[in-house]
Structure formats: structure tokens, C-alpha cells
A and B are shown apart, each in its own frame.
Chain A
Amino acid sequence: MTDDGASVVSPAAIGRSIGTAARRALGGRRFPLLDRIAFALVVLLVLVALVGLFVTPHDPFMVNTGQAFLPPGSGHLLGTDNVGRDVLSRILAGAGRTLLVAVAIVLCATVIGVLVASAAALMPRWIDESVMRACDICMSLPSLVLALGLAASLGPSMMSIVFAMIATSWPATARLMRNILRETLTSSYVEAARTLGMSRLRLMRRHVLPNSLDAIYVQASMEISGTIVMISGLAFLGVGAPPPSPDWGSLIAQGQNHITTAWWIALFPGLAITLAAIAFGLAGDAVRSAVDPSSRRS
């Protein structure tokens, strides 16, 4: 591998092979153009986020007051901020701290939600009911306020945002999963297995979960874009990692004092959040239309 970043595998080829893998995973379906664009954007964003954690055009943390408030253009494509750091480099470095964190939050919340719902479904009815009522109560609380309170009490760091977001978002998944499980558990093919005396755990693993997870994939992929906006919002409000963290919410917060004179400091991270939210939202839609039985061809 050479230092200049030239690589043998082109991004297009990677995109294609991921597309093929996704298609295979979803049962050999072909996706319309918009869906493919959304998937490509998501793949690109994730790659940028990964690379940006290690490599950026300039050092995203190097302060150089002589270079402060340079407008977008020569040398610094998106300009520099109030202490002379390169805005583009900070956005690239912050992508991982925003996107990958959002994906990790959704993954954790989904796994917890599915596990809780599956356990509840196997328990006696009163435990099942109480767990679901507890989820209802959690869901009735405004999640932004709850996350803010939680994160604030844990002290300002990215981990407290992560913890607060997971804590507020798994009940929705658990509720959804419980309803789907209830339906799957009463279907004839599950009853057919029950009449043979199949154990509950084996029943869950073999018939119930595989047939219930489609909606969870949809829910999770739709959730990511909301989570990106949410963690950026929390970071903007200051409960996230303290400065000089370059996550996108903090970047906007750092730029807001100079919004009238140096608009680029806050605008470009804002655009990055918008682009990511739209890309992940469209990808979520694409997953939904692929999984939706009404659009399924056999």
C-alpha cells in the first residue's frame, strides 16, 4: 500500500459488491434507481467516516490563529474556523464520531429490544404484560428531555449520549417486536411445530425469530437517520464530548457565535447532518419496500 492513498479497488466496485451481497440477503430482489443511490450514499458515508477517523487533508485539531476565519476556497476547501482549524478536516474527522456512533446506538437498542421482547414472549403472561406496560411508560416520556437529563447527570461525554440514546430507544423496538412475535406465535406453522412437542427456545430460534425479524430490520434502518439528528442535537446542546471534539453537533455549536460573519463554520456541518439523515432515511425506505410483502415477488 502506498502513501498517496491510491487504491486498487475502486469505490464503485465496492458499492457493486455490497449491492450484490445485500440483494442476496434480501432474497434476490432488484432495487429501483433511487434505492440504489441511497445505498451507495450510505456506503460512501460509512467509508468516509471510517477513513476520516485516521486520515484527513489537514490535522483537524491543529490550532493556527494566523489562519482563522479563512473563507472557503484556496488551501481550505470549506474554510477555517475561529482558531484556524480546517472545517473540511473537522467534518471528516467528526463523521465517524457521528455516523458510526448512531449506527452503534441503533444496533445496541435493537438487540436489547429484540432480546427483551423475546424473553417477555416466553414468560408467563403477567410478566409479559408488565414488561410491555413499562415500555409504554418509557415511550410516553419525551425522549429528548429524558436523554438530556440522563446525559447531563452522567457528565459531558460521547458515552453519556450513547447511553442515554440506547436507554430511550430500545422500548420502541421491544414493543414492535412483541406485537410481531405475538402474531407469529399464533400462526399455523408455529402451532404445527408445537404439536410435535418442540421446546420453546428451539421454536423461537427455528420458526418465530426468522419470521419476525423483517420488520425489525426496517425499524432499525429507519431509526438511524433520526438518531443521527438526535445525537447531533444533544451534542449541540453541550451534553456530548467537550471541545475540541469534532462531532457534527459540536461543530455547529462552535460555529453558531460566528454565524453572521463566518457562516461556513456552522453551515457545512449542518449540510453534512442533512445529507446523512436523508441518505440513511432513503436507505431505510428502500429496506422497507424490499421487505414489505406487498412489494414482494416470488
Chain B
Amino acid sequence: MPEVLLRVAGLRKRFGRGHGVHQALDDVSFDVRQGEILGLVGESGSGKSTIIRCLVGLEKEDSGEITYDGINPAAASKAELRRYRREIQLVFQDPYSSLDPRMTVGQILEEPMLVIGGFSARERRDRINELIHLVGLLPEHLARYPRDFSGGQRQRIAIVRSLVVGPRVLLCDEPVSALDVSVQAQVLNLVKDMQRRLDLTVLFVSHDLAVVKYLCTRLVVLDRGVIAEAGDVPAIYDDPQAPYTRALMEAVPLPDPAAERARRARRQEAAR
């Protein structure tokens, strides 16, 4: 079994206080192993994004521990924190809001290397050129602004931005849910392709079980801040154990109309 690269242990997070308190995460623990694509699935409000935000430091967990390759970001030295930030990168959900509208694509792609530091001007140029070639963007695109691109292209730009510093772990927060269905598959294939080529470990957050089945090897199902089920994708899809997982799977429409009709009839029968 490959080694564990990223470990989340006993994560808890609540928002608000008094009557409005909301337990977003309650004792969430899971491992992400070197080289795998781990799916993190749940409805909206199940805490998927909160986990991601805790991992990149946009939220502070109330308790629990994050460990990445021997680094605990909550108690890390400056050098360790720099390595953590460099090696764990995030792709945001909405490529329309995740790119600064006033910067050119070239500036956007260069920024992570400038902030992390340690890249020469030549290195920065080479890395950008190499990666935009990989994702199918052209050198002349670098002088343009985000508004000149479609959603799919913007998400490619956002993916390149997350890859320029050479991460080992890529966190994807529903990277295709803001895109047209017609380009979703392209972006998913791109993530898969990059994972293989660059030997990445991916934590892929989604509410779409079909996407997760296509992309992931293992799966964690999250239900209102608690892990409902975790395991290998084929095993869970063949025989879901938790009632919540079964309900999620029932909600996925079947591509065959006859089968979908039959299932709906069965469901109504059962409800009666």
C-alpha cells in the first residue's frame, strides 16, 4: 500500500455561536495516499469545502490535526510552512472569480512563484511556458485578461496557476461545477492527465457521484460534517453500506429512460 502523504485527524469546526451555531465538521479523519485521487463527496453544506479551507489555512480548525509529510501546519517553522504552501495547491470552484480581473494571464501565472520565492526570472518563464503548453493554451494568451477567456479556458489557467510552483498535492474544490457540461469532461481529463504526468496526489471534492466514479480510486462520503462511509470506489458503488450513500446514489439519474422509469416506480412503490 502506498504511503500516507496527507492525514486529517479529528477535525472539528463550528461557525457562529449561541443559537446560530453550526457544526460544520465533527471529528473528521481520513488519509490521502501518495499518488491517488481521493474523492470527497457530500451534499452542499456537508463540510467538504470547509475541510479544503482548513487544509490551505483559509479557516482555522477548532481542534484536530493536519499532517503533511511530517509537517503540521499549525505548529510549523517558517521553512516548513513555505514547503507546505508550495507543495499543497488549491484549484477553486469558480474560475470566474478566482482570477484577478485586473491582471494579465501572464501576471496571474507568475504570482505564485513570486510569493513563494526562489524562482529565477528564467525559471518562471520556462515553467509557465511548459505548463500552458501541457494544458493547451498558447503563448499569446499570456498578454490577455481573464475576461477574454471562456469558463473552461479560465479553469485551465487556474490549474496552471496551481501547478507552476511544483506541488505534490492538488486540492480540487468542485473544479467543474461552475462550468458548462460540454467542457466539464475536458477539464476532468486534464486533471487526470496532470495527475499522471506530474505524479500528483489529488483530493477531489465533488457532489457529483458520476464524476467521482470516473476519476477517483477511493472515496470519502461526508454527511453534515461527519464521515458516513469511506473506502475503494468500486466497493462502495457496488454495495454502499451507509443509508446516506445509498440515498446519494439513488439521486443520480440513470442514462437509460426505461431504467430510470422503472426505478422511479420502485421508489413510489416503496413509499406507499
Contact A197 B82 (CB under 8 A): yes
Contact A188 B81 (CB under 8 A): no
By a CB distance below 8 angstroms, the chain A residues around B98 are 188-189, 192
By a CB distance below 8 angstroms, the chain A residues around B82 are 197
8 cross-chain CB contacts under 8 A = A188-B92, A191-B92, A192-B161, A193-B111, A195-B90, A196-B112, A196-B116, A197-B81
By a CB distance below 8 angstroms, the chain B residues around A188 are 92-94, 97-98
- Does A261 reach chain B (CB closer than 8 Å)? no
Stretch of B20-28, B99-107, B244-252 with 4 or more beta carbons under 8 angstroms from chain A: B99-107
Given A187-B97, A189-B97, A189-B99, CB of A197 within 8 Å of CB of B115: yes
Closest partner residue, chain B, to A188 (CB atom): B98
Min C-beta distance of A27 to chain B, whole Å: 10
Contact B102 A193 (CB under 8 A): no
Contact B101 A211 (CB under 8 A): yes
User: In residues 157-207 of chain B, which contact A (Cβ within 8 Å)?
Assistant: 161
- Does A37 reach chain B (CB closer than 8 Å)? no
- Does B85 reach chain A (CB closer than 8 Å)? yes
Closest partner residue, chain B, to A208 (CB atom): B100
CB within 8 Å of A: which residues of B?
56-58, 81-82, 85, 89-90, 92-94, 97-102, 111-112, 115-116, 145, 147-148, 161
By a CB distance below 8 angstroms, the chain B residues around A193 are 111, 115
Given A188-B97, A191-B58, CB of A196 within 8 Å of CB of B115: yes
How many Å lie between the Cα of A210 and that of B100 in the bound state? 10
User: Contact flags (1/0) for A198-226 with B, using CB distance below 8 Å?
Assistant: 10001000110011000000000000000
How many Å lie between the Cα of A192 and that of B115 in the bound state? 11
Of B58, B115, B145, B147, the contact of A198 (CB 8 Å cutoff): B115
How many Å lie between the Cα of A281 and that of B227 in the bound state? 59
- Does A74 reach chain B (CB closer than 8 Å)? no
How many Å lie between the Cα of A187 and that of B81 in the bound state? 23
Closest partner residue, chain B, to A195 (CB atom): B56
- Does A194 reach chain B (CB closer than 8 Å)? yes
Given A188-B92, A298-B148, CB of A195 within 8 Å of CB of B99: no
Q: Determine the main DSSP class of A at the interface with B.
A: helix
How many Å lie between the Cα of A189 and that of B102 in the bound state? 11
Interface residues on A, range: 10 to 19
How many Å lie between the Cα of A194 and that of B100 in the bound state? 13
Contact A211 B102 (CB under 8 A): yes
By a CB distance below 8 angstroms, the chain A residues around B90 are 192, 195
By a CB distance below 8 angstroms, the chain A residues around B85 are 195-197
How many Å lie between the Cα of A164 and that of B107 in the bound state? 43
By a CB distance below 8 angstroms, the chain A residues around B94 are 188
User: Contact flags (1/0) for A166-206 with B, using CB distance below 8 Å?
Assistant: 00000000000000000000011101111111100010001
Q: A196-B112, A198-B115 provided; 6 other pairs, C-beta below 8 A?
A: A188-B94, A188-B98, A189-B98, A189-B101, A193-B111, A195-B57
Min C-beta distance of A182 to chain B, whole Å: 15
Given A195-B85, A298-B147, CB of A211 within 8 Å of CB of B100: yes
**Which of A194, A196, A211 is packed against the most chain B CB atoms within 10 Å?**
A196
User: In residues 247-298 of chain A, which contact B (Cβ within 8 Å)?
Assistant: 298
Min C-beta distance of A87 to chain B, whole Å: 49
How many Å lie between the Cα of A195 and that of B101 in the bound state? 18
Of B89, B100, B112, B147, the contact of A207 (CB 8 Å cutoff): B100
By a CB distance below 8 angstroms, the chain B residues around A210 are 102
How many Å lie between the Cα of A38 and that of B100 in the bound state? 32
How many Å lie between the Cα of A189 and that of B112 in the bound state? 12
Min C-beta distance of A227 to chain B, whole Å: 29
How many Å lie between the Cα of A118 and that of B115 in the bound state? 22
How many Å lie between the Cα of A298 and that of B111 in the bound state? 24
**Which of A187, A189, A210, A298 is packed against the most chain B CB atoms within 10 Å?**
A189
Closest partner residue, chain A, to B108 (CB atom): A189
By a CB distance below 8 angstroms, the chain B residues around A198 are 115
User: In residues 18-66 of chain A, which contact B (Cβ within 8 Å)?
Assistant: none
How many Å lie between the Cα of A188 and that of B145 in the bound state? 16
Closest partner residue, chain B, to A293 (CB atom): B101
By a CB distance below 8 angstroms, the chain A residues around B97 are 187-189
By a CB distance below 8 angstroms, the chain B residues around A207 are 100
By a CB distance below 8 angstroms, the chain A residues around B89 are 195
Contact A194 B116 (CB under 8 A): no
Closest partner residue, chain A, to B107 (CB atom): A206
Min C-beta distance of A151 to chain B, whole Å: 40
By a CB distance below 8 angstroms, the chain A residues around B58 are 191, 194-195
**Which of B93, B111, B147 is packed against the most chain A CB atoms within 10 Å?**
B111
User: In residues 72-106 of chain A, which contact B (Cβ within 8 Å)?
Assistant: none
Min C-beta distance of A114 to chain B, whole Å: 17
By a CB distance below 8 angstroms, the chain B residues around A206 are 111
How many Å lie between the Cα of A118 and that of B97 in the bound state? 22
By a CB distance below 8 angstroms, the chain A residues around B93 are 188
4 interchain residue pairs of minimum CB distance? A188-B98, A195-B56, A196-B115, A298-B147
Closest partner residue, chain B, to A199 (CB atom): B115
Min C-beta distance of B164 to chain A, whole Å: 11
